[in-house]
Structure 1
Amino acid sequence: MDRHYDLVVLGGGAIGLSAALSAAETMNGHPVIPGHRILIIDQFEFGNDQSSSAGRTRQFRYQYSQPYMTELVMQSVPLWKDLSDRAGFSLISDSGSLWFGHADLTTTEGGIGAAKKTMSQLGIPSQDVSAQDLEQRFGFSGLPDDYAGFLQPNGGTIDLESTIDVLLRECHKHGIHMVSNERIDDIGEFGGHVVLTSATQRYVGASLVITTGPFINETLAPFGHRAPVKIWDMVSCYYPIQSSKAASLPTWFAFHQSPDGSPDLYYGFPPVDNGPPGHMRVCPDYPFAVYDDPRTRRTPSDDDFAGTTEWVRRHMPSLRPEPAYQSRCMLALSTTEQPLFMDLISRGPNVAVCAAGWCAKVAPELGRLSAQLALRGQTTTDITPFRLET
């Protein structure tokens, strides 16, 4: 027997859960849908570690090369405060965000010079940081003498694990239906509605939001679309703290270059309450594997963690270069200049897609905009930079 809903959300990570919750609540720029008329489907368990919402933490930052991305972060702040109020504690720490390295090096995260220009344009405060500061104040070592950067004091660490928990709890409070471990094999259309078919069930929705992360092109295939993305599989490690200076670090990102001139990028987090006690997470900003099909995902080897441990050994004397815990995350990354994709699918104004990019920091706002797009066919924020060209 078919199950009918006013809104179906396919993909139950941070953005998908935010979209469903937004749809059930007032003052979000779209019609309010009763919770029991909303369905979220995930092919894995909710809160799984199989895709882009895996792991305990993400960095929260305002600095971007593109002003419209910084504006999107600013728009997300009231939504983060609301979620934190519901959680009963802040979901984002106020440790600050430190960027340093080669000022003219451009990466998937942007660049120091362009980010400083954006912050200046939009009134985002920052403090210049010298090579001497990096060693004496923040405890790094062995860095080139010409390294410099900035500290943005309002950045911090997102407690992603707790964010997912709060979103799930709030969705349950609204009576939103949730189906886990349900892989959708086909998506079609009938009578102006979207029909999603699994091995055992058909779900019919008046509107659909697609937030399937690295599985985005598998989901878009029935619509005849393909997003220009590559699938990155990434690892990180937790290292034992052996100096008190490490415990006071902000979140950080190093715009580093190898001797051959290629980017050699790393970032890290201060200790967090829900992480391994006495350890800090350090991550490479490059993949250990790249896929066209995320279902070909492989298990990382010891060699895939070696570069991160070597970075810690050379530049972070406050940590012991012995990885004690490991984590991984798989995400879709745009192969164009667009940082992420959000658009309507051509079969109708009732199918919206949101995919790609480093989006945790703006997940509540992207969820709200996705719900607006699916339910109204338009958004309160200009999403022209995110349109999916077909």
Structure 2
Amino acid sequence: MTTTESATYAIIGAGLAGASAAWRLAQTGADVIVLERDVPASALGSSHGSARIFRYAYPDPFYVDLVVQAKRGWDELEAASGERLITSSGSLDFGVVRDPHGLARALESEGVAHELLTAAEARSRWPQLDFDSDVLWHPGAGVLDAEGTVEAMLHLAEAAGARVRTGWAAASVRHASTGYLVTSETGETVHVAQVIVAAGGWLPALLSGLDLPSGFVDALPQFEVRQENAFHFPYRDAADAGEAAADAATSWPTFIYKGEEIQTYSLPGGRDAGFRGQKIAEYNGGRVIPSAFAQDGLIDPANRTRVTGFVERFAPGMVPESYAETTCLFTNVPRDDMIIDRGEGITIVSPCSGQGAKFAPLLGELVLDLVAGSERATDRFRAAGQRFAGVS
């Protein structure tokens, strides 16, 4: 039997973006329903686990300022939820492609504390790592708890009146006599005035089921979904694991390395792998898949070999044998910008290219401004017909 509910806003997806939109919309007193195909912060999506990087370092001052804005939201969220969601670590950026000096100029322009070090100076301060270029250090970075953040935002949203439906897999969004009818894969329906689609890696498969204006569809960028591989390597010093588990700050920094042969990111692994080591992944090192439906959770052995080689070369403080491995989803667009744009009453939210987590509390603010008629989100994050090289 078909079950119909109604609301002003339906949010498809209960990851970081969807939960943030639910929180910010519910704060205004709006009637909100969240439709999640699995469970919030599902292990099959991009918002699971306790270990994501919070950082300020971007080559573009626009994004540095955006992180500054987001940090105010993090402070608000932690105060409102009573939960510590960001653990201090500081962050290192190095490698010739990463361009530490360019990053430093961007941080300087926005007044973010940082320090430039030579490779030798960095080695003396962090002997557990090795460096092949000058190094940028910025102490304001940390490790954010993605799953805890989703739970905190949804708890606040529900306290403000939002409803959350789990096991509710949206299949289509069609025009109704007024507003839209969202239909699930099992035939349940929700009638709403507006829809916010925050479906992550499921977005490419869902697009054909959305009643979007044709011009808007033509302007959407190409979405590329990757099944990334992440590896946890144990610390050689067991004390590092103990400190990471117990303290408000980690003993290891997060770091991003971009060289000519490999690009990686790393952070303390948190409870995802028992606080025993460092999480490392090759940026965009996983295979391209059509959508989240095609993920198989299998680790790529060649990717493991490349990342282990990186550990052997640059991380003497880790044992180069992974003790835990997992896959996760990255949804990319060609320019690496986030997509937050609206076609009539349907808003597409895709904080793409592995960068959305740090902006989580701000994403809902941008969605709220957009659905309320503001232009705050649209200029930089508007759909703009981007295509990857070689794709017409």
Q: Does the alignment reach a TM-score above 0.5?
A: yes
Residue deviations 1:306-347 (CA, integer Å, cap 9, x gap): 221221122211111111111221021111x251111111xx
Alignment of structure 1 residues 1-390 onto 2, 5 Å: 1-26=3-28, 32-33=29-30, 37-102=31-96, 105=97, 111-140=99-128, 143-144=131-132, 147-198=133-184, 199-221=186-208, 222=210, 223=212, 224=214, 225=217, 226-243=220-237, 248-258=251-261, 264-270=262-268, 272=270, 275-298=273-296, 299-335=298-334, 337-345=335-343, 348=344, 350-355=345-350, 356-357=352-353, 358-374=355-371, 376-379=372-375, 381-389=376-384
2: CA distance, partners of 1:166 / 1:156: 18
1: CA distance, partners of 2:59 / 2:222: 21
Q: Counterpart of 1:29?
A: none
Q: 3-state DSSP class of the match of 2:11?
A: strand
2: CA distance, partners of 1:185 / 1:244: 48
State the Cα distance separating 1:215 from its structure 2 match: 1.8
Long gaps (5+) in structure 1 = 27-31, 259-263
**AA aligned opposite 1:166:** A
1: CA distance, partners of 2:122 / 2:226: 30
- Give the alignment's TM-score, normalised by structure 1: 0.87
2: CA distance, partners of 1:265 / 1:91: 27
Taking structure 1 as reference, are residues 100 and 244 closer, same or farther at Cα in structure 2, changes over 3 Å only? farther
Assess if the C-alpha contact under 8 Å between 1:246 and 1:270 holds in 2: no
Quote the RMSD (CA, aligned, Å).
2.1
**AA aligned opposite 2:180:** V
Q: 3-state DSSP class of the match of 1:269?
A: strand
Q: 3-state DSSP class of the match of 1:44?
A: coil
1: CA distance, partners of 2:135 / 2:130: 16
2: CA distance, partners of 1:271 / 1:382: 32
Q: 3-state DSSP class of the match of 2:308?
A: helix
**AA aligned opposite 2:153:** L
State the Cα distance separating 1:55 from its structure 2 match: 2.7
**AA aligned opposite 2:164:** M
